[in-house]
Amino acid sequence: MAVHEECGVFGLIGPRSGVIARDVYHGLYALQHRGQESCGIVVNEDGVFTVHKDPGLVGEVFTEEILRSFPGGSMAIGHVRYGTTGGNTRSNIQPMTVRHRKGNLALAHNGNLTNSLELREELEMSGAIFQSTSDTETISYMITRERLTAPSIEEAVLSAMHRLRGAYSLVMMSSTKLLAVRDPGGFRPLCLGIRPDGGYAVASESCALDAVGAEFIRDVEPGEMLVFSAEHPKEAPVSYRRHCGCRQTPCIFEYIYFARPDSTIDSVSVHEARVRAGRILAEEYPVKADVVIGVPDSGLDAAVGYAAASGIPLDLGLVKNKYVGRSFIAPSQEQRSDTVRIKLSPVRSVLEGKSVVLIDDSIVRGTTSKRILRMLRDAGAEKIHLRISSPPFKHPCFYGVDIDSEDKLIAHHHSPEEIAAILGADSIGFLPLSSLGRMSGLTDFCSACFDGNYPAGIPADPRKDRFERKLSERE
């Protein structure tokens, strides 16, 4: 296990056409919200892999010239990645391509293993060397080591899965096959679609299927492996369910914040789950107010639910500046503004003299929320009732979401009442832990960040930089 990674994976197989890299490009555009640090595409043309990957957004890394430089092919995979910046991270950019005894393998991975360090040590004992700090390299090794003796790449992956602990949604290519794998808990999402030409797409979220004109078929089941063949690209994938049937623990945070509202994950509409969260908040924390306001973009869906259930009219009281991107230079201390004020602006006519219900998806450190409340007060809001469409954030995630260490989580240290006082809210309400099931419609899921119950355990060394530390202690 290494750096925390939020990511999106994508794969395509279909009748040969000249545009497969462009299709992957559009699929990755739809998954961009899952990772903005780097991205990559690998096209497989008759067993030869062509790779391009670099730091940057999809629209920055892939120019017309680069898309044109890809060959045609019947299979391709892609990846978007979020991670911490730094000189060494270029080697962590995915997909990863490796050459092994039996051929080539390209991998795109979303999730985090909890036993990566143990597996790495074991691999190193038998001579493995590592060029990155990513779990993807660990997984590559586990699979290719199994492949030395396994009769096929399929069997190698199934064997390797016995050893991997934690969260992993994988899209992989060998010379002749495309493979999609979801860990037995199903922490991270993965779904399957079919295209009008008979080809198939697999993606982290269903919104990426829409982006390439594919029709959603179903979610990949936790523990399931789908295998597509380049030789028969229009044939339905073979499903291997040897690892299915464990306790299913999909990440509840995908519904709360991470996924796009137009996606459907494990048969649940993300938008609907958020609307239900808003409805629950209205039931649990009713209040007399003039207007319901959502913090764009992730608080808007729950605001719809709160307004509908409470009868308080919904309005758009905060406007987001859509041009503030990675290159934005924040105001300095000497200036009279701050980044939050440039990213978000209040609409005075909506707020002035009003009692406002403000809906946001979560509170992490509390600093942004505090500034938003200050801004609403300055714009004339008389009362602000803060409603949060998730339970208090108290614990770090070890399964693929980059959450601050608990030291910095405001809810780790303070009760809701204290938080309301710190942020300057007249009242506060968090989604009850017990309502996560009703919100999502799921009976079992991972809510470790809220309750501290880690279904796949935690790493031996839970520090974020455990991998780097380990190293500097040696030779």
- Residues forming the active site: 7
In which residue are the tokens 């399964």 written? 399
326-385 residues in contact with its own copies (CB under 8 A) are 327-329, 331-332, 334-337, 341-342, 345-350
Cα(100)–Cα(85) distance, integer angstroms: 30
Q: From its phi and psi, is residue 167 left (phi > 0), alpha (psi between -120 and 50) or beta?
A: beta
Select from 231, 323, 353, 443 the one that contacts its own copies (CB under 8 A): 323
- Centroid of chain to Cα 449: 15
Q: Does 33 bind its own copies (CB under 8 A)?
A: yes
Q: Which of residues 446-475 bind its own copies (CB under 8 A)?
A: 468, 471-472, 474-475
Among 15, 84, 88, 235, binds its own copies (CB under 8 A): 88
Other C-beta atoms closer than 10 Å to the C-beta of 320 total 13
Stretch that binds its own copies, among 24-32, 219-227, 403-411, 450-458 (CB under 8 A): 24-32
Least distance in angstroms from the C-beta of 382 to its own copies: 18
Query: Computed from CA positions of residues 151, 153, 155, 157, in that sequence, does the dihedral angle turn out positive or negative?
Result: positive
| Cβ-based nearer residue to its own copies, 50 or 239 | 50
Residue type, 389: S
Cβ-based neighbour number of residue 90 at 10 Å: 12
- In the complex with its own copies, the residue whose CB is nearer, 63 or 453, is 63
Could you give phi then psi for residue 40, rounded to 5 degrees?
-160, 160
Q: Is 276 in the site for its own copies (CB under 8 A)?
A: no
Q: Segment near its own copies (CB under 8 A), from 100-108, 109-117, 226-234, 241-249?
A: 100-108
Decide if 73 contacts 46 (C-beta within 8 A). Answer: yes
Q: Report the residue from 34, 79, 109, 145 that binds its own copies according to the rule CB under 8 A.
A: 145
Determine how β-strand 355-360 pairs with β-strand 383-388. Answer: parallel
Contacting residue, 159, 175, 229, 368, with its own copies by CB under 8 A? 175
CB of 26 or CB of 394, closer to its own copies: 26
Q: Which of 151, 231, 232, 322 binds its own copies (CB under 8 A)?
A: 322
92 binds its own copies, rule: CB under 8 A: no
CB of 348 to its own copies, least distance (A): 7
* Residue pair 354/380 in contact by the 8 Å Cβ criterion: yes
Q: Which positions from 179 through 238 interact with its own copies, judged by CB under 8 A?
A: 195-197, 207, 210-214
- Check residue 51 for interaction with its own copies (CB under 8 A): yes
Residue 173 is a binding residue for its own copies (CB under 8 A): no
**Closest separation in Å from C-beta 193 to its own copies:** 11
Handedness of CA 451, 456, 462, 467 (dihedral sign): negative
**Long-range contacts from 127-131, C-beta under 8 angstroms, 24+ separation:** 131/91
- Give φ, ψ of 417 to 5 degrees: -60, -45
What are the angstrom distances between the C-alpha of 451 and each of 158, 349, 412, 446? Answer: 31, 40, 11, 9
Q: Which is nearer to its own copies, 18 or 245 (CB)?
A: 18
Task: Restricting to residues 120-139, name those near its own copies by CB under 8 A.
Answer: 121, 124-131, 133
